[in-house]
Structure 1
């Protein structure tokens, strides 16, 4: 993830980036304050924690191709940055309910991940999901764990250098993502008349581009860089242009469950304060991955600022 990208509209994009960082920092602090009361202090267990104590399990929704956030290793096991954060949340929930909890795994896609959470099929959605105001009306999110942005991947030698070169062309993006929303906004605003293909998942979108079914693939920059590093075909493509959107990621869970929200917030806060979140980031973005790739993407200034904004409440009274 590069921290010096300029968004659509030059200075307006930079101001937009600063606004998203400030908004996310305020939301983070508010969520931490709201989560200060533990489930035990609130009385009997309810919601997800009650279910976890009774069943001894929590269900994690994972993505199959959101490298390095949530994807399958060579043995078909879910691994990644978001998965490690979710494991820490499960450990925190186990401490809260007073028993060991096992993890049940459930694959989700961009299109069905929200229904999986709201219906109770999964307790935590651990992938590369953008936390925004519209989605917060329907689901809840952890504090921000990553800041990404929509960019374009095109074949090497393509004349496309920015979104303005896409007029009348076909662009593929993963259905149900903010990348599709960004394309539709730009198409309407600048009269681009884009033909947007909505793929089932990120790997499918990349396949469409490889087969020549689209002129460009619009996706979160970090996921695009992941394909460049992990795919044998990666050398045929390049990432171009300014950021078309800025997208803060979070771990998604059901809305209206304050006890579980407190556990999620506390777990992520403790990872940030202890330095574990920074170490986890380096493991997945700087070091060699279990599948052999090395992304070599330093933490962006935006994410570093958010992590440093987490207050250390260890010396505050219970």
Structure 2
């Protein structure tokens, strides 16, 4: 067999590329071990999961979760690890993980099979239901959501959930939930849709003096689990993130432990937005631990 110089050069270049720190074949733990930096993404418009705090820095439930992931990564690697946070949107969050720009994104993303084609997901860390928020006075003229124009954020599962639950419903897409809520305030739409906790957070942030209603008043249109977005085919990194979430659930069966401490900080009686953890959601989260001791 004849091996040309060109083939040798190309083969050498491939090997060299694979050996470089941060190369495409390196996993997240390898890259962080080399750089000491965990690059993570979160939202700026998802109160109280992820938003810009009074000091201009990211804050919220998801930010605290990412800090737990950082601490677990540092413990695994036996070295200090810096958490570098960047803001993502519903349109670019998957692409920035798939491209390798970010190591992990935690906010309010729901896993779907379509999304699994380009990224992986952690086990869920929260669950809530899709609802429509409208101003109370709007219901006098538009009592049925099918008579409303509903604002939704681009790149979310909200629109498909609404269309399945309410065939024929009219929706309008916006770049983010802040923009959708601004349109609601101007009367350009009669309602906005997302998971209930996000809708209540936005109403307190953007329209604190107006009475709002969540529809339907009883059961939501659909339940959505929230998970962290992870790079594909990196099982070591996915295992670490999953174990971090599982470890947080210790004591949750008694409404105690580290998960409840974070939950109460943001959703408790004295938190940013009171939103009690109901029994069914607690049990759902506990069932995510499928690993035997």
TM-score range relative to shorter protein: 0.7 to 0.9
Deviations 1:114-170 (A, max 9, x none): 1111111211112111123433333222221111111111121223799x9244642
Determine which structure has more spread, i.e. the larger CA radius of gyration.
2
Change (3 A) 1:161 1:104: farther
Q: Given that residues 151 and 171 in structure 2 are in contact (C-alpha distance below 8 angstroms), is that contact kept between their aligned partners in structure 1?
A: yes
Give the aligned CA root-mean-square deviation in angstroms: 2.4
Q: Which of 281, 296, 302 is the aligned partner of 2:263?
A: 281
Question: Structure 2 stretches of 5 or more lacking a match?
Answer: 1-24, 252-256
Structure 1 CA distance, aligned partners of 2:165 and 2:123?
A: 28
Structure 2 CA distance, aligned partners of 1:285 and 1:220?
A: 14
Q: Given that residues 61 and 126 in structure 1 are in contact (C-alpha distance below 8 angstroms), is that contact kept between their aligned partners in structure 2?
A: yes
2:49 match: 69
Structure 2 CA distance, aligned partners of 1:123 and 1:47?
A: 9
Change (3 A) 1:76 1:49: same
Change (3 A) 1:60 1:311: closer
2:16 match: none
1:109 match: 89
Q: How many residues align?
A: 262
The one of the two structures with greater contact order (alpha-carbon pairs below 8 A, sep at least 6) is 1
Compute the TM-score of the two structures, normalised by the length of structure 1.
Answer: 0.76
Q: Given that residues 135 and 210 in structure 2 are in contact (C-alpha distance below 8 angstroms), is that contact kept between their aligned partners in structure 1?
A: no
Matches within 5 A, 1:124-273: 124-159=104-139, 165-167=144-146, 169-186=148-165, 190=167, 192=168, 194-233=169-208, 235-241=210-216, 242-273=219-250
Q: Given that residues 42 and 50 in structure 2 are in contact (C-alpha distance below 8 angstroms), is that contact kept between their aligned partners in structure 1?
A: yes
2:28 match: 48
State the SS of the aligned residue for 1:68. Answer: coil
Structure 1 CA distance, aligned partners of 2:110 and 2:290?
A: 25
Q: Given that residues 46 and 202 in structure 2 are in contact (C-alpha distance below 8 angstroms), is that contact kept between their aligned partners in structure 1?
A: no
Matches within 5 A, 1:295-306: 295-306=273-284
Question: Structure 1 stretches of 5 or more lacking a match?
Answer: 1-44
